[in-house]
Structure 1
Amino acid sequence: MKEEAIKVGDKVPDFELERQDGGFFRLYDLLREKNVVLYFYPKDSTPGCTKQACEFRDQYEVFKEQGAEVVGISSDSVESHQRFEKNYRLPFKLLSDKGGQIRKMFGVPRKLGLLPGRVTYIIDQDGIVRYVFNSMSKPLEHVSIALEVLREINSEQKHYNKA
Structure 2
Amino acid sequence: MMQLGDKIPDFELENQYAERFNSSSLEGKAAVIYFYPKDFTPGCTAEACEFRDKYEDFKDAGAEVIGVSSDDTDSHAKFSKKHNLPFIMLSDSQGELRKLFDVKSSLLGLLPGRETFVFDKTGKLIMRYNSIKSKNHIIKALKALNHT
Matched letter for residue 73 of structure 2: V
Q: What stretches of structure 1 of length at least 5 have no aligned partner?
A: 154-163
- Aligned mates of 1:63, 1:72 — CA distance in 2: 13
Percent identity for Structure 1 against Structure 2? 50
Range 121-130 or range 51-60, more displaced: 121-130
Q: What stretches of structure 2 of length at least 5 have no aligned partner?
A: none
| 1:126 Cα offset (Å) | 2.0
Partner of 1:42: 37
Mapped pair 1:82 → 2:77: yes
Range 12-21 or range 76-85, more displaced: 12-21
Mapped pair 1:62 → 2:95: no
| 1:33 Cα offset (Å) | 3.6
Partner of 1:25: 21
Paired residues, number: 147
Matched letter for residue 113 of structure 1: G
Mapped pair 1:131 → 2:107: no
Partner of 1:151: 146
Task: Name segments (4+ residues, structure 1) moved above 2 Å.
Answer: none
- Aligned mates of 2:121, 2:22 — CA distance in 1: 14
Aligned mate of 2:118, from 116, 122, 133: 122
- Aligned mates of 1:34, 1:127 — CA distance in 2: 8
Give the TM-score of the pair, scaled to structure 2: 0.96
Say whether the 8 Å CA contact 2:29–2:123 is kept in structure 1.
Answer: no
Mapped pair 1:15 → 2:8: no
User: 1:20-63 CA distances to partner (integer Å, 9 max, x unpaired)?
Assistant: 11211111212x24100000000001010000000000000011
Give the TM-score of the pair, scaled to structure 1: 0.87
Considering fraction of residues, name the structure with more helix.
Answer: 1
Say whether the 8 Å CA contact 1:57–1:92 is kept in structure 2.
Answer: yes
SS at match of 1:117: coil
